[in-house]
Amino acid sequence: LFDEIPPHVIIRPGWIANLEMPLFYSALDVSLLLSKEREGHSMFGMESMACGVPVIATDVGGNVEIVADQVSGFLISRNYSEGELEELIVRLINDKDLYNHLSKGAYLNIQERFNFNSSSLKLLSVFQD
């Protein structure tokens, strides 16, 4: 299914079965989290990064906690312009060194900060408080 998607096309896939999600994420160049008002800890963003996909996200809610700006993706203002967003997307597509840096940073960000052990310890400390 995802092998048939031409490069650099914006897709809105609708529902995807859990077993197909890694294939979906692997087909992406970049993930966008463009919330204007609220955002929790986006599973979409975290799962994207776990598959090495950089994320461009607005500086809203949980986005600032999961996206390390210029390490695992980019944080932009919730009042971003279309030109600013387009510039970042084109930059990621054209600058392979930057893309590889952010792709590796995205993967490591999740592996180091949101792995099972660290997440369990954070949750335990909430219960203990």
Kindly report the pTM of this predicted structure. 0.82
With contact defined as beta carbons under 8 Å apart, do 63 and 45 qualify?
yes
Half-sphere exposure of 1 (CA within 13 A, CB side): 12
Would you tell me how many other CB atoms lie within 10 Å of the CB of residue 29? 14
Condensed to tens digits (0 to 9), the pLDDT of residues 17-43 reads: 989 988 888 888 899 999 888 777 788
With contact defined as beta carbons under 8 Å apart, do 34 and 11 qualify?
no
- As a whole number, the mean pLDDT across the chain is 87
DSSP 65-112: HH--BTTTEEEE-TT--HHHHHHHHHHHHH-HHHHHHHHHHHHHHHHH
Alpha carbon 1 to its chain's center: 22
Condensed to tens digits (0 to 9), the pLDDT of residues 31-76 reads: 999 988 877 778 889 999 999 999 999 999 989 999 999 999 999 9
Flag whether pLDDT at 105 surpasses 50: yes
Q: Please give the radius of gyration of the chain, using alpha carbons only, rounded to the nearest integer.
A: 15
Residue type, 36: K
* The pLDDT value given to residue 1: 45
Length reported for the chain: 129
